[in-house]
Protein backbone atom coordinates (compact mmCIF):
# COMPACT_ATOMS: atom_id res chain seq x y z
CA UNK A 1 0.00 0.00 0.00
CA UNK A 2 1.53 3.38 -0.89
CA UNK A 3 2.34 5.64 2.07
CA UNK A 4 -0.25 8.20 1.04
CA UNK A 5 -3.05 5.67 1.25
CA UNK A 6 -2.68 4.42 4.83
CA UNK A 7 -5.58 4.74 7.28
CA UNK A 8 -4.69 8.08 8.80
CA UNK A 9 -4.68 7.94 12.59
CA UNK A 10 -6.02 5.97 15.47
CA UNK A 11 -8.69 8.50 16.32
CA UNK A 12 -9.97 8.07 12.74
CA UNK A 13 -10.50 11.78 12.47
CA UNK A 14 -9.66 13.36 9.14
CA UNK A 15 -6.36 15.23 8.92
CA UNK A 16 -7.21 17.19 5.80
CA UNK A 17 -10.70 18.40 4.94
CA UNK A 18 -11.60 20.20 1.70
CA UNK A 19 -14.86 22.10 1.24
CA UNK A 20 -16.73 23.29 -1.86
CA UNK A 21 -18.49 26.28 -0.33
CA UNK A 22 -21.61 26.38 -2.49
CA UNK A 23 -25.05 27.97 -2.16
CA UNK A 24 -24.31 31.63 -1.37
CA UNK A 25 -26.35 32.90 -4.33
CA UNK A 26 -29.41 30.79 -3.50
CA UNK A 27 -29.19 31.79 0.15
CA UNK A 28 -29.42 35.45 -0.91
CA UNK A 29 -32.11 34.85 -3.54
CA UNK A 30 -34.28 33.05 -0.96
CA UNK A 31 -34.19 36.28 1.06
CA UNK A 32 -34.91 38.53 -1.90
CA UNK A 33 -31.40 39.94 -1.74
CA UNK A 34 -28.61 40.38 -4.29
CA UNK A 35 -26.29 37.40 -4.74
CA UNK A 36 -23.35 39.36 -3.37
CA UNK A 37 -24.99 39.56 0.06
CA UNK A 38 -24.86 35.75 0.08
CA UNK A 39 -21.12 35.88 -0.55
CA UNK A 40 -20.74 38.36 2.29
CA UNK A 41 -22.78 36.12 4.60
CA UNK A 42 -20.53 33.23 3.56
CA UNK A 43 -17.49 34.91 5.10
CA UNK A 44 -18.96 34.24 8.56
CA UNK A 45 -19.12 30.52 7.71
CA UNK A 46 -15.49 30.62 6.55
CA UNK A 47 -14.49 31.98 9.97
CA UNK A 48 -16.57 29.32 11.73
CA UNK A 49 -15.07 26.53 9.60
CA UNK A 50 -11.51 27.69 10.28
CA UNK A 51 -12.18 27.93 14.02
CA UNK A 52 -13.76 24.47 14.04
CA UNK A 53 -10.98 22.96 11.94
CA UNK A 54 -8.46 24.41 14.33
CA UNK A 55 -10.29 23.04 17.39
CA UNK A 56 -10.52 19.66 15.71
CA UNK A 57 -6.74 19.64 15.28
CA UNK A 58 -6.84 19.28 11.49
CA UNK A 59 -3.49 19.55 9.70
CA UNK A 60 -5.13 21.26 6.76
CA UNK A 61 -8.39 22.82 5.66
CA UNK A 62 -8.83 23.64 1.97
CA UNK A 63 -11.66 25.92 0.87
CA UNK A 64 -12.86 26.42 -2.71
CA UNK A 65 -13.48 30.16 -2.99
CA UNK A 66 -13.35 30.85 -6.74
CA UNK A 67 -13.06 28.39 -9.57
CA UNK A 68 -11.31 28.92 -12.89
CA UNK A 69 -14.83 28.79 -14.41
CA UNK A 70 -16.30 31.43 -12.09
CA UNK A 71 -14.92 34.18 -14.40
CA UNK A 72 -17.94 33.33 -16.57
CA UNK A 73 -20.26 34.96 -14.05
CA UNK A 74 -21.63 38.47 -14.62
CA UNK A 75 -18.88 41.05 -14.40
CA UNK A 76 -20.37 42.78 -11.36
CA UNK A 77 -20.48 39.51 -9.40
CA UNK A 78 -16.85 38.71 -10.28
CA UNK A 79 -15.69 42.18 -9.26
CA UNK A 80 -17.73 42.02 -6.02
CA UNK A 81 -16.08 38.66 -5.22
CA UNK A 82 -12.62 40.10 -5.92
CA UNK A 83 -13.30 43.12 -3.66
CA UNK A 84 -14.54 40.80 -0.93
CA UNK A 85 -11.45 38.64 -1.28
CA UNK A 86 -9.20 41.68 -0.92
CA UNK A 87 -11.18 43.03 2.06
CA UNK A 88 -11.15 39.67 3.86
CA UNK A 89 -7.43 39.19 3.24
CA UNK A 90 -6.87 42.64 4.74
CA UNK A 91 -9.02 42.08 7.80
CA UNK A 92 -8.34 38.43 8.65
CA UNK A 93 -4.66 37.78 8.01
CA UNK A 94 -3.43 39.22 11.32
CA UNK A 95 -5.95 37.12 13.24
CA UNK A 96 -4.87 34.02 11.35
CA UNK A 97 -1.25 34.79 12.08
CA UNK A 98 -2.03 35.39 15.75
CA UNK A 99 -3.61 31.93 15.87
CA UNK A 100 -0.54 30.25 14.36
CA UNK A 101 -2.42 29.46 11.11
CA UNK A 102 -0.47 29.21 7.87
CA UNK A 103 -2.33 30.67 4.90
CA UNK A 104 -1.74 29.43 1.37
CA UNK A 105 -3.51 30.36 -1.83
CA UNK A 106 -3.73 27.60 -4.41
CA UNK A 107 -4.67 28.36 -8.00
CA UNK A 108 -3.43 30.41 -10.92
CA UNK A 109 -2.79 33.76 -9.27
CA UNK A 110 -1.35 35.30 -12.43
CA UNK A 111 -4.91 36.25 -13.50
CA UNK A 112 -5.41 38.47 -10.44
CA UNK A 113 -4.80 42.22 -10.35
CA UNK A 114 -1.22 43.10 -9.29
CA UNK A 115 -2.28 44.60 -5.95
CA UNK A 116 -4.23 41.44 -5.09
CA UNK A 117 -1.21 39.32 -6.01
CA UNK A 118 0.91 41.46 -3.69
CA UNK A 119 -1.57 41.04 -0.83
CA UNK A 120 -1.57 37.28 -1.38
CA UNK A 121 2.23 37.10 -1.36
CA UNK A 122 2.45 39.26 1.79
CA UNK A 123 -0.13 37.13 3.62
CA UNK A 124 1.67 33.91 2.68
CA UNK A 125 5.03 35.32 3.70
CA UNK A 126 3.72 36.59 7.06
CA UNK A 127 2.21 33.22 8.02
CA UNK A 128 4.74 30.92 6.30
CA UNK A 129 6.40 29.63 9.47
CA UNK A 130 3.22 29.05 11.46
CA UNK A 131 2.87 25.50 12.65
CA UNK A 132 -0.86 25.22 13.42
CA UNK A 133 -3.51 24.51 10.84
CA UNK A 134 -2.65 25.10 7.18
CA UNK A 135 -5.51 26.98 5.55
CA UNK A 136 -5.53 26.68 1.76
CA UNK A 137 -7.81 28.99 -0.15
CA UNK A 138 -8.43 27.82 -3.71
CA UNK A 139 -8.79 30.92 -5.85
CA UNK A 140 -8.87 30.81 -9.65
CA UNK A 141 -8.29 27.14 -9.07
CA UNK A 142 -9.17 24.30 -11.43
CA UNK A 143 -8.26 20.65 -10.96
CA UNK A 144 -7.39 20.37 -14.65
CA UNK A 145 -5.18 23.46 -14.44
CA UNK A 146 -3.41 21.89 -11.46
CA UNK A 147 -2.58 18.65 -13.29
CA UNK A 148 -1.63 20.58 -16.44
CA UNK A 149 0.81 22.87 -14.63
CA UNK A 150 2.43 19.85 -12.96
CA UNK A 151 2.77 18.13 -16.36
CA UNK A 152 4.29 21.29 -17.83
CA UNK A 153 6.91 21.45 -15.06
CA UNK A 154 7.89 17.83 -15.72
CA UNK A 155 8.04 18.53 -19.47
CA UNK A 156 10.42 21.42 -18.78
CA UNK A 157 12.64 19.10 -16.77
CA UNK A 158 12.66 16.59 -19.62
CA UNK A 159 13.44 19.33 -22.15
CA UNK A 160 16.28 20.56 -19.91
CA UNK A 161 17.75 17.06 -19.71
CA UNK A 162 17.21 16.77 -15.93
CA UNK A 163 14.64 13.99 -16.25
CA UNK A 164 14.02 11.14 -18.68
CA UNK A 165 10.45 10.71 -19.95
CA UNK A 166 10.56 7.03 -18.99
CA UNK A 167 11.36 8.02 -15.40
CA UNK A 168 8.10 9.93 -14.98
CA UNK A 169 6.10 8.27 -12.23
CA UNK A 170 2.99 9.13 -10.23
CA UNK A 171 5.31 10.26 -7.42
CA UNK A 172 7.16 12.64 -9.79
CA UNK A 173 3.93 14.24 -10.97
CA UNK A 174 2.55 14.35 -7.44
CA UNK A 175 5.49 16.48 -6.31
CA UNK A 176 4.28 19.32 -8.55
CA UNK A 177 0.58 19.09 -7.73
CA UNK A 178 -0.71 21.78 -5.34
CA UNK A 179 -0.48 20.84 -1.64
CA UNK A 180 1.88 17.92 -2.36
CA UNK A 181 3.61 18.49 0.96
CA UNK A 182 0.40 18.23 2.99
CA UNK A 183 -1.55 15.23 4.26
CA UNK A 184 -3.82 13.82 1.53
CA UNK A 185 -7.42 15.04 1.52
CA UNK A 186 -9.45 12.63 3.67
CA UNK A 187 -12.84 14.27 3.41
CA UNK A 188 -14.48 16.44 0.75
CA UNK A 189 -17.60 18.33 1.81
CA UNK A 190 -19.87 20.10 -0.67
CA UNK A 191 -22.62 22.33 0.64
CA UNK A 192 -25.59 23.58 -1.39
CA UNK A 193 -26.95 20.20 -2.48
CA UNK A 194 -25.15 19.66 -5.81
CA UNK A 195 -23.31 16.37 -6.13
CA UNK A 196 -20.38 17.18 -8.40
CA UNK A 197 -16.73 18.24 -8.15
CA UNK A 198 -16.94 21.31 -10.44
CA UNK A 199 -13.26 20.96 -11.40
CA UNK A 200 -12.03 21.19 -7.78
CA UNK A 201 -9.19 18.93 -6.64
CA UNK A 202 -9.09 16.01 -9.07
CA UNK A 203 -5.75 14.35 -8.38
CA UNK A 204 -5.92 14.96 -4.62
CA UNK A 205 -9.36 13.42 -4.12
CA UNK A 206 -8.33 9.95 -5.32
CA UNK A 207 -9.16 8.35 -1.96
CA UNK A 208 -11.17 11.08 -0.24
CA UNK A 209 -14.58 10.38 1.26
CA UNK A 210 -17.33 12.57 -0.22
CA UNK A 211 -20.00 14.21 1.89
CA UNK A 212 -22.81 16.21 0.30
CA UNK A 213 -25.20 18.35 2.31
CA UNK A 214 -28.15 20.48 1.19
CA UNK A 215 -27.20 23.13 3.77
CA UNK A 216 -26.35 26.37 1.95
CA UNK A 217 -22.87 27.70 2.72
CA UNK A 218 -23.95 30.76 4.76
CA UNK A 219 -25.90 28.36 7.05
CA UNK A 220 -23.00 25.92 7.41
CA UNK A 221 -21.81 26.27 11.01
CA UNK A 222 -20.17 24.13 13.65
CA UNK A 223 -23.16 21.76 13.96
CA UNK A 224 -23.27 21.01 10.24
CA UNK A 225 -19.46 20.58 10.13
CA UNK A 226 -19.67 18.20 13.12
CA UNK A 227 -22.23 16.08 11.28
CA UNK A 228 -19.89 15.79 8.31
CA UNK A 229 -17.06 14.69 10.59
CA UNK A 230 -19.32 12.16 12.32
CA UNK A 231 -20.31 10.72 8.93
CA UNK A 232 -16.63 10.42 8.00
CA UNK A 233 -15.76 8.66 11.26
CA UNK A 234 -18.51 6.08 10.69
CA UNK A 235 -17.21 5.09 7.25
CA UNK A 236 -14.74 2.33 6.57
CA UNK A 237 -11.99 3.38 4.21
CA UNK A 238 -10.53 0.43 2.35
CA UNK A 239 -7.93 1.88 -0.05
CA UNK A 240 -8.39 -1.05 -2.41
CA UNK A 241 -8.11 -3.68 0.35
CA UNK A 242 -10.91 -5.85 1.72
CA UNK A 243 -12.86 -4.81 4.82
CA UNK A 244 -11.32 -7.71 6.77
CA UNK A 245 -7.78 -6.58 5.92
CA UNK A 246 -8.51 -3.05 7.11
CA UNK A 247 -10.06 -4.23 10.38
CA UNK A 248 -7.04 -6.44 11.03
CA UNK A 249 -4.71 -3.51 10.35
CA UNK A 250 -6.64 -1.27 12.73
CA UNK A 251 -6.70 -3.97 15.42
CA UNK A 252 -2.89 -4.20 15.19
CA UNK A 253 -2.58 -0.43 15.58
CA UNK A 254 -4.95 -0.26 18.57
C1 LIG B 1 -20.53 29.56 -4.10
O2 LIG B 1 -21.84 30.00 -4.08
C3 LIG B 1 -19.55 30.70 -4.08
C4 LIG B 1 -18.81 30.89 -5.34
C5 LIG B 1 -18.89 30.14 -6.39
C6 LIG B 1 -17.93 32.03 -5.38
P7 LIG B 1 -22.64 30.26 -5.43
O8 LIG B 1 -22.48 31.69 -5.80
O9 LIG B 1 -22.24 29.29 -6.47
O10 LIG B 1 -24.13 30.00 -4.95
P11 LIG B 1 -25.28 29.31 -5.80
O12 LIG B 1 -24.80 27.96 -6.19
O13 LIG B 1 -25.56 30.17 -6.96
O14 LIG B 1 -26.41 29.24 -4.80
C1 LIG C 1 -17.96 25.66 -7.34
O2 LIG C 1 -19.24 26.16 -7.24
C3 LIG C 1 -16.96 26.74 -7.06
C4 LIG C 1 -16.93 27.28 -5.71
C5 LIG C 1 -17.66 26.90 -4.69
C6 LIG C 1 -15.97 28.32 -5.52
P7 LIG C 1 -20.07 26.60 -8.54
O8 LIG C 1 -21.39 27.06 -8.03
O9 LIG C 1 -19.29 27.57 -9.34
O10 LIG C 1 -20.19 25.23 -9.34
P11 LIG C 1 -21.22 24.81 -10.48
O12 LIG C 1 -21.21 25.88 -11.50
O13 LIG C 1 -22.56 24.70 -9.82
O14 LIG C 1 -20.72 23.49 -10.97
MG1 LIG D 1 -22.99 27.46 -6.98
Are residues 121 and 101 in contact, defined by beta-carbon separation less than 8 angstroms?
no
Supply the pTM of this predicted model: 0.93
- Backbone φ, ψ for residue 227 (5° rounding): -65, -40
Pick the closest to residue 90 from 134, 122, 67, 66 (CA basis): 122
Is the minimum distance from the CB of 71 to ligand 2 under 6 angstroms?
Answer: no
Instruction: Identify the pLDDT of residue 10.
Output: 41
Residue 213 Cα to ligand 1 middle (Å): 14
236 pLDDT tier (thresholds 50, 70, 90): confident
* 87 pLDDT higher than 90: yes
Residue 135 CB contacts under 8 Å (≥ 6 apart), including other chains: 50, 53, 60, 61, 62, 63, 96, 101, 102, 103, 104
Check the annotation: does 68 bind a ligand.
Answer: yes
Contact between 210 and 18 (Cβ < 8 Å): no
pLDDT(103) > 80? yes
pLDDT at 253: 75
Give the lowest-confidence range in 15-19, 185-189, 246-250.
Answer: 246-250
219, 27 contact by CB (below 8 A): yes
Q: Are 13 and 57 in contact (CB under 8 A)?
A: yes
23 is in an annotated binding site: yes
Helix (H, G, I), strand (E, B) or coil at 217: helix
Burial of 110 (0-12, 13-18, 19+ CB in 10 A): exposed
Across residues 36-60, what is the average pLDDT? 97
Relative to the CA of 217, which ligand 2 atom is closest?
Answer: 5
Active site residue 108: no
pLDDT tens-digit map of 153-191: 999 999 999 999 999 999 999 999 999 999 999 999 999
* Closest residue by Cα to residue 20 from 148, 157, 208: 208
Please state, for a pLDDT cut of 70, what percent of the chain lies above it.
96
The domains located in the chain, with CATH, are 16-142+184-253 (3.40.1180.10)
In the chain, the largest separation of any two C-alpha atoms, in whole Å, equals 60
Residue 70 a catalytic site member? yes
Per-residue confidence (pLDDT) for residue 1, from 0 to 100? 34
Q: Which residues contact 164 (CB under 8 A, 6 or more apart)?
A: 158
pLDDT tens figures, 121-164: 999 999 999 999 999 999 999 999 999 999 999 999 999 999 99
Residue 197 labeled ligand binder: yes
237 pLDDT higher than 80: yes
User: Could you tell me the pLDDT band of residue 11, with boundaries at 50, 70 and 90?
Assistant: low
pLDDT surpasses 70 at 59: yes
Ligand lying closest to the C-alpha of residue 38: 1
Amino acid sequence: MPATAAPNNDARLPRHVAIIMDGNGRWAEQRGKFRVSGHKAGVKSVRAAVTFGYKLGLDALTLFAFSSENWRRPEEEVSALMSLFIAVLGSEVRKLHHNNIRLRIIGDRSAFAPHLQRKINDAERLTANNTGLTLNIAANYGGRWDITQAARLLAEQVAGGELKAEDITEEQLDKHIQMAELAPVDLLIRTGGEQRISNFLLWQLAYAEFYFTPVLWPDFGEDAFSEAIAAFVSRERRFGCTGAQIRELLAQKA
